């Protein structure tokens, strides 16, 4: 069922502590139980399971509960031991877990959505359960009465959610690549601002899409963006470590990246448009007039990732990494920018590790430096992240 892998040796990479197997379909969510050797998992196989670590070092399910529909999202509040499970049919179900984690009692069902639930957050102070779904809306419901308080609709299905408990601001990412900042009220909401710049679906924890992470500086609504490009496949989850100023990201190809955010980074430039190469002035293939006047064939347009200028292939024949702008892999740059990049400018500002399974969801117990990953391979893995983020358990982490 499960096996103990290591017992926290020190290294420069994540240490795989345990591996849990037993689900019959993709595991959509896995959460570490704070202050306990336990994990709560939700799966497309319609089960919610609570795994506790036994004296043998193995994890065994103490709770095995079957739902009416595949489980698509989950939230757990440890102090009240309340768990909220989103389903493929659009419903959110609330349960209460006993103190010994051996029993789960049903509380109520919330008719939150008309389609698959994509994310859930519970606010104890407001007594709200907030969720997003594939029905293109965010909803917030009262956990005392079970009544719907409000809904806000988007043009695309809402794929991710973050919530600031102090200000009652909700960040909602949708599949068009837009992030909407909402101020939620008791029975209404107001749109504060929208952040654009993504090209695809957003399974966001802070802000992300496909294999690129974009971090927004929303102070003063300036919308300054920092590009982080280091994954080879779709980014699935992020966690920002406030104390060490690091960003941990996981992708569907099993990649785990730890980004150093405690450095001065350069903002990626906007791509410029031009009818001809901004270096050699040769026309691009749609510039019929210049091609006719100069009796030359048009060239394909490219863009330098460092300066953003529109250039032809001959004037951008070089490739270089440029980590200060977030480009950890080699990208196209124009020849003049390539010459301006020094060897020390290519020093990586992130570390990359292999999770060795398809990761669809990640969460961290920041206080203990532990991370849990799960995926379509039906496997749940528990990692010690302290060797990577450079902070010992004695020092501890500061929850964000």
End-to-end CA distance of the chain: 33
Token pair 């997003």: residue: 132
CATH architecture of the domain with residue range 15-197+209-261+355-389: 7 Propeller (2.130)
Calculate the alpha carbon distances from 41 to 227, 299, 323, 394 in Å. Answer: 32, 53, 36, 28
pLDDT at 48: 97
pLDDT digits (tens, 9 = 90+) for 3-14: 444 433 444 889
Domain positions in the chain are: 15-197+209-261+355-389, 266-348
Confidence of residue 188 (pLDDT cuts 50, 70, 90): confident
Q: Mean pLDDT across the stretch 21-43?
A: 95
Whole-angstrom CA distances from 128 to 73, 85, 90 are: 16, 14, 17
Whole-number average pLDDT of the chain: 84
Report the pLDDT value the prediction gives residue 196, as an integer from 0 to 100: 58
For residue 274, give the nearest of 302, 313, 305 by alpha carbon.
302
Contact by Cβ (8 Å): 251, 265: no
346: three-class secondary structure by DSSP: helix
Specify the pLDDT at position 295. Answer: 83
| HSE, side-chain direction, 13 A CA sphere, residue 131 | 33
Contact criterion met (CB below 8 Å) for 387 and 12: yes
Q: How far apart are CA 249 and CA 226, in angstroms?
A: 15
Q: What pairs with residue 140 in β-bridges?
A: 130, 150
Token readout for 370 is: 């532990």
* pLDDT value at residue 318: 93
Whether pTM > 0.85 for this model: the answer is no
8 A C-beta contact, residue 313 and residue 345 = no
When mean pLDDT is compared across 201-205, 234-238, 349-353, the lowest value belongs to: 201-205
Tell me the pLDDT tens digit for each residue of 210-246. 345 555 554 444 445 677 787 887 777 888 888 888 8
The pLDDT of residue 78 is above 50: yes
CATH number of 266-348: 3.30.40.10
Interval 137-146 mean pLDDT = 94
Helix (H, G, I), strand (E, B) or coil at 248: strand
Yes or no: say if 92 and 85 are a contact pair by the CB < 8 Å rule.
yes
Rounded-to-integer distance, Cα 256 and Cα 238, Å: 10
| pLDDT tens column, 280-307 | 988 898 888 888 888 888 888 999 999 9
Longest Cα–Cα distance in the chain:
82
Phi, psi of 340 (to 5 degrees): -85, -15
Residue 199 parent element (H or E)? none
Burial of 225 (0-12, 13-18, 19+ CB in 10 A): middle
Between 202 and 23, the more confident residue is: 23
CA distance 32 to 380: 11
- In this predicted model, which residue has the larger pLDDT, 238 or 102? 102
Decide: 62 and 51 in contact? Cβ < 8 Å. yes
Task: Please state, in angstroms and rounded to a whole number, the distance separating the CA atoms of residues 168 and 156.
Answer: 23
Question: For 231-260, b where at least 16 C-beta lie within 10 A, e where not — what string?
Answer: beebbbbbbbbeebebbbbbbbbbbbbbbb
Q: How far apart are CA 264 and CA 244, in angstroms?
A: 15
């Amino acid at each position: 069922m499960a096996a103990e892998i290591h017992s926290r040796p020190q290294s420069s990479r994540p240490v795989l502590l345990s591996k849990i197997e037993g689900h019959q379909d993709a595991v959509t969510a896995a959460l570490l139980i704070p202050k306990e050797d336990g994990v709560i998992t939700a799966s497309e196989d319609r089960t919610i399971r609570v795994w506790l670590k036994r004296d043998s070092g193995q994890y065994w399910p103490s709770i095995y509960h079957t739902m009416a529909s595949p489980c698509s999202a989950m939230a757990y509040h440890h102090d009240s031991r309340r768990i909220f499970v989103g389903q493929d049919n659009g419903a959110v179900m609330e349960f209460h877990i006993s103190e010994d984690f051996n029993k789960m009692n049903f509380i109520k069902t919330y008719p939150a959505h008309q389609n698959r639930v994509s994310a859930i957050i519970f606010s104890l102070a407001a007594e709200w359960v907030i969720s997003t779904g594939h029905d293109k809306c965010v909803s917030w419901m009262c956990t005392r009465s079970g009544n719907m308080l409000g809904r806000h609709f988007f043009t695309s299905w809402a794929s991710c959610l973050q919530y600031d408990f102090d200000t009652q601001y909700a960040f909602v990412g949708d599949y068009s690549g837009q992030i909407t900042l909402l101020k939620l009220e008791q029975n209404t909401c107001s749109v504060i601002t929208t952040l654009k710049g993504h090209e695809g679906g957003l399974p966001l924890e802070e802000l992300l899409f496909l294999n690129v992470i974009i971090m927004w500086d929303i102070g003063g609504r300036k919308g300054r963006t920092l590009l982080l490009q280091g994954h080879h496949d779709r980014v699935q989850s992020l966690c920002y470590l406030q104390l060490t100023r690091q960003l941990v990201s996981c992708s569907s190809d099993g990649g785990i990246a730890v980004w150093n955010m405690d450095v001065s980074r350069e903002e990626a430039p906007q791509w410029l448009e031009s009818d001809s190469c901004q270096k050699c002035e040769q026309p691009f293939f749609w510039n019929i007039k210049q091609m006719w006047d100069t009796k030359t064939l048009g060239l394909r347009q490219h863009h330098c990732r460092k300066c953003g200028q529109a250039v032809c292939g001959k004037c951008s024949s070089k490739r270089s990494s440029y980590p200060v702008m977030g480009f950890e892999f080699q990208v196209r740059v124009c020849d003049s920018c390539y010459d301006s990049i020094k060897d020390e400018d290519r020093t990586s500002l992130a570390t990359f590790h292999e999770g060795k399974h398809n990761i669809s969801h990640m969460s961290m117990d920041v206080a203990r430096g532990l991370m849990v990953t799960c995926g379509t391979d039906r496997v749940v893995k528990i990692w010690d992240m302290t060797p990577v983020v450079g902070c010992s358990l004695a020092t501890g982490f500061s929850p964000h």
